[in-house]
Amino acid sequence: MKKPDKIRKFDVIDFLGNGNFGFVFQAYDPLLKADRAIKLIKVPNPEKFVEAVKEAQTLEACRHKHIVDVKEVDVFTYEGTPCVYIAMEYLAQGSIQKHLENRFISIQYSLKIVSEALLGLEHAHNSNVLHRDIKPGNILFGDNGEAKLSDFGLALDYHVDPSDTMGYRPHQPLEVIEGNPMDKLSDIYAMGITLFRLINNISEIEFDFSKVDEWRAAVKANKYPERCYKPHIPRKIKTVINKAINNDPYKRFQSASEFRQAIEKIVIPIDWRPIDDDSWVGTGLNSESYELKKQPKRNGWIIEYKKNGRRIKENCRKELSDSQVTAEFFKIISSSNETVN
């Protein structure tokens, strides 16, 4: 679609990307003197029109500080084609997907993002609305850094509308692949995969299956996505995520609220992040600073552990072989976050 110069009263500034069912532009409202994100959807027939306006109806029913706010919806003709536009708040910080592609996301930050997004999802589910397309690209940041669920283009009222298997394939659970309709528990699964990706800093999951049977078998065997965690991830977080993405929907968290509460019970004493391949730094619950560094020496590798600039001898290591040092390094990081339950 060619970028229009104007959409009704809005001056179009830039093309932001594609969302489900439409194109998204940054625009300016000269009357309110405010930036907006506008989803523009071509609607060649009445059936498509109903599909297009569904998103705005969904978000109107789901106003919440952790859901992207819709300002207005209307119809106009562009290049001879009937279109619908949905004007939403413009969030300049973009999505967590963009951050995931460009920087390291720490454990604590990952938990914060998903916990806030789950507040939005909880509200949506309480309004009888499914999201059906939860992924890092559909979690945006508000002006104060809060997470907001966006792009309800696939959302349905699950008491009225029949669901289908549309959505982001790498985040679809086994029961949906097997032909069952999406429901609240498939949203829980998709949010669990989102958290899995954030804490492991996985920016993309390739979909390389040519047959549905291959895809189904891989998901059933927990091979897609592969349930492999980075070595700094503590066991208590793996336990929560593994429950959220269990292949048996009845063994998952049964609500967004239950999932969120499980996350909020997790205490991360030290939030670590890498500086380079040999050095990590961390921030404690009371803003303490931590440093962990490995260095090769004549008699093998050493690991230096410091808190507020002071060496903590009991957490240091020496005379480690090449085959030992990496495992020991990440064991120190992981165990530092298992000390508080």
39 in a known ligand binding site: yes
Reading across the β-sheet that carries 81-89, which strands appear in turn? 6-7, 10-19, 22-29, 34-42, 81-89, 70-78
Cα within 13 Å of Cα(167), Cβ side = 29
Buried b (16+ CB within 10 A) or exposed e, 296-318: eeeeebbbbbbeeeeeeeebebe
Residue 261, classed as helix, strand or coil, is: helix
Measured distance CA(171)–CA(21) in Å, rounded: 18
Measured distance CA(33)–CA(27) in Å, rounded: 11
Residue with tokens 């260095």: 295
Q: How far is CA 84 from CA 18, 46, 131, 341, in A?
A: 15, 11, 20, 50
Measured distance CA(217)–CA(234) in Å, rounded: 28
Q: Which two tokens mark 320?
A: 């480690």
Residue 49, classed as helix, strand or coil, is: helix
Q: Are 70 and 60 in contact (CB under 8 A)?
A: yes
Measured distance CA(121)–CA(184) in Å, rounded: 9
> Per the annotation, where are the binding residues?
39
> Per the annotation, where are the binding residues for ATP?
39
